[in-house]
Structure 1
Amino acid sequence: MGANIGPALAGHSRIASLYERDQTCQTLGIALDEVSAGRALMRMRVTEAMVNGYGMAHGGYLFLLADAAFSYACNSYGQVTVAQAAQVTFLAPAAVGDELVAEAVERARSGRNGVYDVTVRHSEGKVVAEFRGQSVALGGIPQGA
């Protein structure tokens, strides 16, 4: 397993394999710490390349971190599952050097559809953003799993 995968993933070989093929998370140093049914926990340190002209973490990177946690939470059941919609509310800034933690939690699942909430926090607990994603299961097992 890669260096950015937490020890809690030892029993999730399919998720670990999916993460190791995730070039976006690998390139940006987004770590996958935990996955369980309908839940995921990821973290990212804000780098200088991730800030906007005001010196704050660009909203696109905050959305990306939340979206990644959402992705692993909704793929935790084994079927290929993708986003069908998502929205984010930015609540506080993050700066270079801040470690951000995204916790995704399933709120509802019915048939092929799911609703997930993701809270992005500074590592000390202050909420930076709230994200809600809606998923749809396409079926099948991911390639290479």
Structure 2
Amino acid sequence: MYAEDEASQHLGMTLVEVTPGTAIMTMRVQDYMLNGHKTCHGGYMFLLADSAFAFACNSYNQSTVAQAAQINFLKPVSVGTLLTATATEVSRTGRTGLYNIDVTNEEGALVASFRGNSHTIKGQIIPDLND
């Protein structure tokens, strides 16, 4: 799935780990990611968290999409900061899932908190793997 994810790759995101229901991704904040306050634009932090969410909820090899998501920005982030998004499954029942994604800086401080709802659709990430 990462090989096909041009958006995450274009922004320099690295997929660190994927296990069933979890994923960890990193991204270093670049100059072009800064807003008018010279801090990381919230949209980029949302993208990082959303990508980690996508890998976590697709980790069962069932095609799964976002149904809803929200984010809270907790601390400003400066250029050069390595952000880490850690996605953790809270609940997975039937075709729906709930995931928490913590976005932290290099010191481990929580800078954003994301919560995503997933919905499983038809198809597999790797065809015939589950057969």
Fold conserved between structures, TM > 0.5: yes
- Matched position secondary structure for 1:131: strand
Deviation at 1:107? 0.1
Matches for 1:1-145 after TM superposition, within 5 Å: 18-142=1-125
Q: When the two structures are aligned, how many residues end up with a matched partner?
A: 128
Matching residue of 1:4: none
Distance in structure 2 (CA, Å) of the matches to 1:75 and 1:124: 29
Structure in which a larger fraction of residues adopt helix:
1
> TM-score w.r.t. structure 1 length?
0.86
Deviation at 1:140? 1.3
**Sequence identity percentage:** 51
Distance in structure 1 (CA, Å) of the matches to 2:112 and 2:39: 13
What letter corresponds to residue 120 of structure 1 in structure 2? V
Unaligned 5+ residue runs, structure 1? 1-17
Distance in structure 2 (CA, Å) of the matches to 1:50 and 1:127: 19
Q: CA RMSD in A?
A: 1.3
What letter corresponds to residue 66 of structure 1 in structure 2? A
Distance in structure 2 (CA, Å) of the matches to 1:19 and 1:110: 25
Matching residue of 1:10: none
Deviation at 1:141? 1.2
Deviation at 1:124? 1.4
Distance in structure 1 (CA, Å) of the matches to 2:60 and 2:125: 11
Distance in structure 1 (CA, Å) of the matches to 2:80 and 2:13: 14
> TM-score w.r.t. structure 2 length?
0.95
Distance in structure 2 (CA, Å) of the matches to 1:67 and 1:141: 19
What letter corresponds to residue 63 of structure 2 in structure 1? V
- Matched position secondary structure for 1:140: coil
Q: Moved runs in structure 1, 4+ residues, more than 2 A? A: 142-145
Deviation at 1:143? 7.2
